[in-house]
Amino acid sequence: MPKVVVVGSYIVDLMCRTPHIPKPGETVLGGSFQMGPGGKGGNQAVAAARLGSDVTMVTKVGKDVFGEEAIRNFQKEGIDISRVNCDEKEATGTALIAVDQHGENMIVVALGACGSLTEEDVEQARGEFADADIILVQLETSIEAVKKTIELANEFVKPVILNPAPYQEIGEDLLKGVTYITPNETEVFALTGIEVTNFSQAQKAAIKLTNKGVSTVIITLGRKGCFVYDGTDAGRMIAGYEVKAVDTTGAGDAFNGAFATFISQGFNLDEAARLSNSVAALSVTKIGTSVSMPYKEELDFLKDN
């Protein structure tokens, strides 16, 4: 069973269905409302746990009902909560999500407690880092926590996945310590200034990132799949899966949690990416983020494909 340490956010998702995404100043009468566990860190931790990983979550929640629900949710998913700290001042993070009839979304995030995750909070998980097979981190916390995460992963010679979302400006010194980076089209443009719409542009962006020190680049491209580059060849596209999407909100998180699991299980890069594409595709067929993460049993259909 892979041991995965996830350092990141826990955020409560407040999601409403809407006929279309509101324009500035527009009020739209929405449909169904749903509240549930979320945050990129929390989602990725659940994705990895449901696929069979032994997951430790490093985050902060508020001293409120949402924080209490976070603890209950992690425990239900079998996630180690020994490094989930409670902030005495900040509320648990929240995300306001609008999802239209095509499954596209708009999100506003208030980080709250997880935004105050400190280097010391990460340092407290030193023992878990030492025992881990892989470390997974995003940018939905403080940059100081991200930096400490990468430093500890490097100290213990552990592979580290950086999901650079939501994008924050990061120094090249951080990138030099990253094994795998997993930007989407928006994030890779912010990182490189290259708009990725075809193979050639994906290759240029990936080369630019490896020149900054990253070992392997995986550009996630939604239903098209992902572009993988590790410097051994020109890079390659790993095809996605065609499904009827009802909510695309957690797809990137599903991919990252899955990739951490599959690469730790010994799958090669391309196969881990292919399997992660399938997990992301399954996640968008359900409403919600954390709750939409597939279980490993749901991947059985791949055996015949």
Annotated binding site for K(+): 247, 249, 283, 286, 288, 292
Binding residues are 11-13, 39-43, 140, 184, 220-225, 247, 249, 252-253, 277, 283, 286, 288, 292
Question: In sequence order, what DSSP letters do the residues of 259-271 get, joined into one string?
Answer: HHHHHHTT--HHH
Nearest residue to 49 via CA among 302, 229, 296: 296
Summarize the annotated binding site for substrate as residue ranges: 11-13, 39-43, 140, 253
Tokens of 278: 């399938």
Query: CA-CA distance, 166 to 303, in Å (whole number)?
Result: 34
Would you call 253 a catalytic residue per the annotation?
Answer: yes
C-alpha 294/C-alpha 258 separation (Å) is: 9
Q: Whose CA is closest to 181, among 161, 210, 205?
A: 161
Among 253, 270, 300, 304, which one carries the catalytic annotation?
253
Known binding-site residue numbers for ATP: 184, 220-225, 252-253, 277
Question: Where does 63-157 show beta strands of DSSP type E?
Answer: 80-87, 93-99, 105-110, 134-138
CB atoms within 10 A of CB 36: 16
**Pairing of β 225-229 and β 216-220:** antiparallel
- Residue with token string 């609008």: 98
Single-letter residue type at 278: S
b/e per residue, 282-303, with b = 16+ CB within 10 A?
bbbeebbbbbbbbeeebeeeee
* 95 contacts 75 by C-beta, under 8 angstroms: no
The C-alpha atoms of residue 279 and residue 260 are separated, in whole angstroms, by 12
Q: What is d(CA 90, CA 223) in angstroms, rounded to the nearest whole number?
A: 37
Active centre residues (catalytic): 253
